[in-house]
Every structure is written in C-alpha cells, then in structure tokens.
Amino acid sequence: MITKLRQKPSKEDNEAFFEPTEEMQEWMEAPEEGQLTVDVFEKDDKVVIKSTIAGVKPDELDISIDNEMVTIRGKRHEEDMEHGRNYYFQECYWGNFSRTIILPVHIKGDEAEAAIKNGILTITIPKAHKSAKINVKEVEE
C-alpha cells in the first residue's frame, strides 16, 4: 500500500479557499436564537401545537401561518440581570427564540386560535378538507 503525503495548507491557501460573502458574514455574526420544544397532534378536526413558554407574555409573541407552516417567535427576558454569578448549571435560555413547524395536513390558518395558560402556549388550527369527488361524464363525439 502506498500512502501519499500532503503538505499542510498555508494560511494564504485557507484564506483564498474561503472568503465569506456579505450575507454569510451577517449570518455568522447574527445573535444566537433559541429553539422551542413543541408537541403537535390532531384532536378531532383540529391540529394542536403546544409549547412551554413560561415567562413570555402574549404581546411578546409573534405567531404567523403561511400555507401549512406555523412560525412562533418571541423573546424571554431574564428578570434578575445580576452579572458575575457563579453558576453550577445554566440551562435556561434567555433571549430571542423561534420555531417553524411544517404541518403534514392542510389547515385553515385564518381560523387559528392561540392561548397561554400556566406557561403553556396552545395553538389550535382547524384542518381543511381539500378532497373532492369528481364525476366523470361520457362525451359523445
């Protein structure tokens, strides 16, 4: 077996290989967004989306529906903004969050409802029935 050795690329080689575009640079510098966990299920003739969003007020949420895509955006504010804490664990996410869910069924987005109770967001969207029966007629020539 013959092994070929490669010379390690120089810094100039790396810079020439990857020059980010302006859009890529903006994306790489964009603040990190947290993601919501969701449960999505059917109940009767509706699609239900549930998510835990404790600490978020209804006016801090933006929920949009485009075709069968539901997007939830918002921001969690940390109430106690002390700096210099000595954390043992830091798992809570504070800041902007978003989640887009692509639904596998047709929905009536204009009839959607959303409510928050005990820190749980519930979005209820009626399903649209897009099937139809077509009668075939015989045409005489």
For 125-134, how does the pLDDT look when each residue is reduced to its tens digit (9 = 90+)? Answer: 999 976 677 8
3-state SS of the chain?
CCCCCCCCCCHHHHHHHCCCCHHHHHHHHCCCCEECCEEEEEECCEEEEEEECCCCCHHHEEEEEECCEEEEEEEECCCCCCCCCCCCCCCCCCEEEEEEEECCCCECHHHCEEEEECCEEEEEEEECCCCCCCCCCCCCC
* Mean pLDDT of all residues belonging to the chain: 80
Instruction: Please name the helix (run of DSSP H) or strand (run of DSSP E) that holds residue 40, with its range, or none.
Output: strand 38-43
CATH dotted code for 33-78+90-130: 2.60.40.790
- Please state, for a pLDDT cut of 70, what percent of the chain lies above it: 70
Q: What is the pLDDT of residue 9?
A: 58
pLDDT-derived band at 14 (thresholds 50, 70, 90) equals low
User: Would you say residue 85 has pLDDT above 80?
Assistant: no
Residues 95-141 pLDDT 10s: 888 899 999 999 999 999 999 999 999 999 999 976 677 888 888 87
